[in-house]
Each structure stands twice: as C-alpha cells, then as structure tokens.
Amino acid sequence: MVGRAMARAETELDGRLIYTWIERADFEATGALPTDSEDVINLTLAVGGTEGAVIFVEQPGGGFKISFRSRCKMDCSQVAEQFGGGGHKAASGAFVEGSLETVRRRVLDAVRATME
C-alpha cells in the first residue's frame, strides 16, 4: 500500500508541493490496515525539495481523511480549518466528503493559494 501511494505521488509548484492518495481498493488489494497509512505523509515530505505535503485517504464509509504537513510558510492548521479540521502549523488534518476528484481539487486549490 505504501508503494502504491508513493508511486502515484505528484508534485507541483516546482516540487515544493507533493500529494498522493490511498483508495479503499489499495487497502483491499494489499491487506493493509488503515493505521498502515499514517506514516505515508511523512514519507512524501521527505522527498527532496518538498515544503508541503498532502495525503488523501479514502474512508470505509466514504469521504477522505486528509493530512497536511509543512516545513514552509504554509500553516497547516489554517488550511485544515477551511475544511472543518484542525491541528497545528506543521501538521493538521481534516475530513472531507465527496469524490476523490472533487475533494482533491478543493483541497489542493486551498493549499496552492497558501503556498504561492
């Protein structure tokens, strides 16, 4: 499951932003547990040149758990707050209902606005 998530990771903003996602099918295909996804966000942030990272983890009941990490001016808690979540400046999370495409677009628009 970690390999799948890292293989689909995408970067933007000249490599400063990285994001990836994990679908329910990834858990089913690999036998991974939801807790196995918790460190993936930190792996993405470890990619050279990365300042902000986002991961979307599809939940069994629908919607996505989103984790934000930052080592730049982006305040993760302020981004997460826009989606009813919280945390602190360097690490925060939220839950957003919707399809992956819709959730990803909304969340990444907010992250880009903060990082640009």
Sketch out the chain's domains with CATH numbers.
2-115 (3.10.310.30)
Among 73, 71, 97, smallest CA distance to 84 is for 97
pTM (whole model) above 0.85: yes
Question: Which among 83, 73, 81 is positioned nearest to 106, based on CA atoms?
Answer: 83
pLDDT of 102 > 90? The answer is: yes
Look at residue 116 and tell me whether its pLDDT is greater than 90: no
Give pLDDT tens digits for 49-80. 999 999 999 999 999 999 999 998 899 999 99
- Which residues share a beta bridge with 110? none
Which residues, in sequence order, are CB contacts of 10 under 8 Å at separation 6+? 18, 19, 20
52-58 vs 86-87, strand pairing mode: unpaired
